[in-house]
Structure 1
Amino acid sequence: MKKTALILGASGLTGSYVLQKLIADERYDTIKLISRSKLKDQPAKVSQFIGDLLDLEQFKTDFIADEVYCCIGTTKSKTPDKTLYKKIDYGIPVSASKLAKINGIETFLVISSIGADKNSTTFYTKTKGEMEQDVLKQNIKNTYVLRPSLIGGQRHEKRTLEHMGLKFFKVIQPLLIGPLKKYRIVKAETIATAMIHLANSNQQQTNIINSEDIQQLGNNN
């Protein structure tokens, strides 16, 4: 029996790779996108639901799938207002996990970040840690929290500071060995491949997937 996947953030870097791969994957006959604006030129297996992601309750009746891929995220430079930042990076994934639980979805995958820690004194890593904690509280049967390092790939929007950081890390990549290996850049496509592999691994579990493991899963599948 073929499956239905639901993607939040399909217009973003990693989410767009998840979408491309699921379209090509014969295990799926329906892909639902929940987003602020419509993506053009999508095949018949893609259904789009347009609205405000900060109010996911409006999508409750359509929030039905076998798997949820939550690829939502913003940056300090893109969203300098901390209140709005938290509504996006914390609020959307947590609301999505609650809807998934209510609607009986058994597989939920969400992208977090390396260094996520609810006890952190840094707002951004603390926000990610709090998001993880409250997603895991939903006790969805198969929950995968992915914590990539810097995400590499060609973005549509300009992110100057992130671009500079990526250039720096590309230069020092060969030096990131041993315990520093976890800081290596992870390609967005690698993350997408890892997510789809995990969703189809038939392992009933809750897992934190660290950056090195994302690399391994994404490069070997």
Structure 2
Amino acid sequence: MKKAWVLGATGATGTALVEQLLGNDEYSEVHVFVRRPLPLQHTKLHVHVVDMERAEDWQTGPAADVAFSCLGTTLRAAGSKAAQHRVDVDYQLQFAEMARRSGVGTFVLLSAAGANAKSSLFYMRLKGEAEEGVRALSFERTLFFRPGMIDRGVKARGNERISMAILRALNRIGLLKRQAPIAVETLARQMIRGEATLRDAGEYVLAERAILDL
């Protein structure tokens, strides 16, 4: 049986991922790294309350087979580009570095369609920088998930709801079907499935339709 780490467990995708890992018989332990205690209890669940700014909290962790990182924020929530970079890149990479030091063999990163460290778009550049940082750590296996629009359900923001409504209307008339919104529950399931089925060592990049085709 496998042991997993999760960063970003309180976000929409992270919440769905943790719930599915806890219900998956292939996993015996699920370790989540959060800033405050979770209102969730389960025999498999191990909650580690950490301070993102304390280097000593990010040295080594419990033995695990795979680490999932779903952490992310928005420019509005972060308050500045520097603060968003801290969350979307720096925090994820310190988590990845701890996983590498702790002997975790597989790293699964939730990125975004269009991720490119050289992009002129700030958000895509952030995601690309995070991917490059993880890539440089040379895990035995690395899986980059690059979904398009994510349907966060009840956690969806107002502008997201509007964008999803427009995209779904276009999908109904046969346009942009590869960019159809993906529900967080589906995305989480496919992240777990990808880790289970893509067994060869190396790097996997799954974008939009390829995520659903696993």
Q: TM-score, normalization: structure 2?
A: 0.92
Distance in 2 between residues matched to 1:206 and 1:56, nearest whole Å: 28
Matches within 5 A, 1:186-197: 186-197=182-193
Identity %: 26
Look up the SS of the partner of 1:144 in the other structure. Answer: strand
Match in the other structure for 1:111: 110
**Partner in structure 2 of residue 23 of structure 1:** 22
Q: Which residue of 2 aligns with 1:204?
A: 201
Alpha carbons 1:70, 1:110 under 8 Å: kept: yes
CA positional deviation for 1:153: 2.9
Q: Does the CA contact (< 8 Å) of 2:190 and 2:211 recur in 1?
A: yes
Mind listing any 5+ residue stretches in structure 2 that lack a counterpart? none
Once the two structures are TM-superposed, the CA of residue 124 in structure 1 deviates from its matched residue by: 1.1
Aligned residues: 213
Q: Is the alpha carbon distance of 1:145 and 1:55 closer, same or farther for their aligned partners in structure 2, counting shifts above 3 Å?
A: farther
2:47 maps to a residue whose letter is Q
Cα pair 1:118 1:133 within 8 Å, conserved: yes
The residue that corresponds to 2:157 in the other structure is 159
Give me the whole-angstrom Cα distance separating, in 2, the residues matched to 1:103 and 1:186.
Answer: 32
The partner residue of 2:167 within 161, 166, 169 is: 169
* Distance change in 2, residues 1:19/1:62 (3 Å): same
Counterpart of 1:127? 126
1:175 deviation in Å? 4.2
Aligned pairs for 1:12-161 (under 5 A) are: 12-55=11-54, 57-156=56-155, 159-161=157-159
Give the Cα separation in 1 of the matches to 2:127 and 2:134.
10
Amino acid at match of 1:64: A
Give how far 1:63 is off. 4.7
Contact 1:63 1:99 in 2 (8 A): no
Separation of aligned partners in 2, 1:197 and 1:175: 30
- Residue deviations 1:113-168, cap 9 Å, x none? 11111111111111111111111111101100110001013244x62222221222
Post-superposition shift, 1:26? 1.1
Structure 1 residues 77, 165: closer, same or farther in 2, change over 3 A? farther
Work out whether residues 61 and 102 of structure 2, in 8 Å CA contact, stay in contact via their aligned partners in 1. Answer: no
Equivalent residues of 1:56, 1:96 under 8 A apart: no
Shift of 1:56: 6.0
What is the aligned-residue RMSD (CA, Å)?
A: 1.7
Q: Secondary structure of 2:83's match?
A: helix
3-state SS of 1:44 partner: coil
Return the TM-score normalized by structure 1: 0.89
* Structure 1 gaps, min length 5: none
Q: Which amino acid aligns with 2:191?
A: M
